[in-house]
Amino acid sequence: MSTNRSTSFASRSRKSRSFVIGSVMTGFLLLCAVISLFWTPGSAFDISIANRFLPPSADHWLGTDQFGRDIISMLMTGTQNSIVVAVVAVSIGLSIGVSLGLLAAARGGWTEELIMRFSDFSFAFPAILSAIMLTAILGPGGVNSILAIGLYNIPVFARLTRGSANAIWTREFVMAARAAGKGRFRITFEHILPNILSIIVVQATILFAIAILAEAALSYLGLGTQPPDPSWGRMLNEAQALIFLDPMQAIYPGLAIAIAVFGLNLLGDGLRDILDPRLSRTR
């Protein structure tokens, strides 16, 4: 059965244009992040006023900024920050949100009502507003942006998981498991979670793209990654005053953000088509 599922997934993934393109774009970003851990064409941190605004060359592939820093090296290093923030933030929302959603569906009653009202309350504080509040208390920084984005992701996963789980709880094989004497929590982990895992994976991929976009927005506002660590959002902020002098300094980080978000959205759409249970002959 496992071999058949693997073969079916591989066959569908090759036929899904969205999945293939999204995988290539996402893989390119991951490759840039990994390479930048060991090597960059120049320095993303060293300031050299004598080398400011240099055009693209063999030494500086995309030129330098107003402080003489190598632009492509900053973009590559900034990929690390975006990925780390997105991974940790989505992991926070995934672990807590899925747990709450499964608990709400399994217990029902006042437990489900309390969790859903908590989710409704959390939606009143989007990521940027949460970051502003955390910044006022703790000061700006990457950790605060991770917490803000992660807290916003919790109710998203909780509501999705609870709704999907409730639909599975009415299925015949779950009723048979209950008739066989299995407890609710055993049924949750043996039957409910495996059947909604594909939906959670797709949602996590989409929220990963949103987290990268949110991190860039927070850094643009000065609430995210702080100097000297490069950030796509802060590169956009620094380039806005130079938009007429050197517009490419704004285009490069904007293009990086667009590639990341577009690639992950395509990957999520492809995964949704591949993992859709209606397209599978076996559960």
The 10 Å CB-count burial string (b at 16+, else e) for 238-259 is bbeeeeeebeebbebbeebbee
What are the tens digits of pLDDT across the range 36-45?
Answer: 999 999 888 8
> Looking at the whole model, is its pTM more than 0.75?
yes
DSSP category for residue 229: S
What is the C-alpha separation between 185 and 127, in angstroms, rounded?
32
Between residues 83 and 10, which one has the greater pLDDT?
83
What are the tens digits of pLDDT across the range 96-139?
Answer: 999 999 999 998 889 899 999 888 887 777 767 777 777 767 77
